[in-house]
Every structure is written in structure tokens, then in C-alpha cells.
Amino acid sequence: MSHTPPTLWVLHGPNLDRLGRREPAVYGHATLADVDAACAEVAAEHGFALVCRQSAHEGALIGWLHEAADAGAAGIVINPGGYTHTSVALRDAVASVDVPVVEVHLSNVHARESFRHVSLTAGACVGAIAGLGVEGYRAALRFLARLAAD
Ligand code: DQA
């Protein structure tokens, strides 16, 4: 009998598909494919399947949060990009799902422009990581894997 492993999800918001080419001094040289590969490695190490998706559209990100929850996701990592600082609807979507969500930012948003110091979404998450680059995604996934195993 086949058994589907528990699944972790990683959702990337707007402009993250440009990683590697986008302001490398701020976001580093890793591409989105590199980030997803690092995430897949951590998920596999912990015995989880992984779904990675990226969209510039707020509604798509909201729909995927709902879909992940409906599919029984063990945890969700989200980098909402610029929507972090603007989107009440995305925050409400995070709050609406009964799945632990960790917010990740590649850059240290607190050391940047003041409009990036406020996250509308982080308060609905179990925690948030900023400024650790790709390592932040790894740490978030390790945390969620351990949480699911408890
Ligand atoms: C970001 C930080 C946001 O302020 C910005 O709008 C992004 C990327 C990060 O990963 O550092 O698009 O979420």
C-alpha cells in the first residue's frame, strides 16, 4: 500500500522569480531554483514532500494558502515579498488556515527602509525570520518539520 509523505509548502511572492538578477547586493546571487532546491533537500532530510510555488498575484498566494490547508499541509513557509507590508487580505488568509506558517525574508527588512519595518502578515504567523538569506528558508522548514513530528 502506498503512503503519501506529509507535505511542507513554500510560497514565494512577487519579484522573487527574479532572484539572482534582482538587486544581488540586497538579495544575494541564489536564484529561485536554488532556493527551492535547498528547501527540497531539507524537506527530504526530514521525510517530508515539498510543494514550492511563486506568484506575483495576491489572489494566487491566498488561494494556495487555502489549498495547502485543505490538502493537509504539515506547515507553510511564506515569503510574501512586497505584500508583507501592504496586504491585509494575505494576513487574513494566513490567519484563516489551521496550519503553522513561518514568514521568511532573505534580507533584513528591519535594517532597510522604514516601510519594510512593518509586516502585516507576520503577526498571523507562528514566527518570522529575516536577513539570513537562503538559510532562513532552511531554518523555517527544519522548525516546521520538528513541530509536525512533536
Ligand atoms: C523580501 C523583503 C520585502 O521587503 C521585499 O518587498 C521583497 C523581498 C525579502 O525576502 O527580503 O520582495 O521579502
CB 35 within 8 A of CB 132: no
Q: Whose CA is nearest to atom 9 of ligand 1?
A: 105
Nearest CA to ligand 1 atom 6: 82
pLDDT, residue 3, reads: 67
At residue 20, φ and ψ (nearest 5 deg) are 100, -40
Q: Is the minimum distance from the CB of 109 to ligand 1 under 6 angstroms?
A: yes
Residue nearest to atom 7 of ligand 1 (CA): 81
* Residue % of the chain over a pLDDT of 70: 98
Of residues 5 and 110, the one with the higher pLDDT is: 110
DSSP E strands: which ranges in the chain? 7-12, 49-54, 75-79, 101-105, 127-130
Residues assigned a catalytic role = 27, 105
Q: Is 20 in the pocket of ligand 1 (CB under 6 A)?
A: no
The CA distance from 150 to 145, in Å, is 9
pTM of the prediction? 0.97
106 lines ligand 1 (CB under 6 A): yes
Which residue from 109, 2, 116, 107 is spatially nearest to 49, judged by alpha carbons?
A: 2
pLDDT in tens, 13-53: 999 999 999 999 999 999 999 999 999 999 999 999 999 99
* Collapsed DSSP state (helix, strand, coil) of residue 139: helix
Closest Cα partner for 121 from 144, 77, 89, 97? Answer: 89
Number of alpha carbons in the 13 Å side-chain half-sphere of residue 128: 22
DSSP 124: G
Residue ranges of alpha helices (H) inside 28-83 are 32-45, 58-70
Q: With 80 as the cut, is the pLDDT of residue 4 above it?
A: no
CB-ligand 1 contact for 73 (6 Å cutoff): no
Segment 52-81 mean pLDDT: 98
Tell me the pLDDT tens digit for each residue of 69-89: 999 999 999 999 999 999 999
For a mutational test of ligand 1's pocket, the pick from 11, 17, 87, 109, i.e. the residue with the most ligand atoms closer than 8 A to its C-beta, is 109
Residue 150: which pLDDT band, with cuts at 50, 70 and 90?
confident
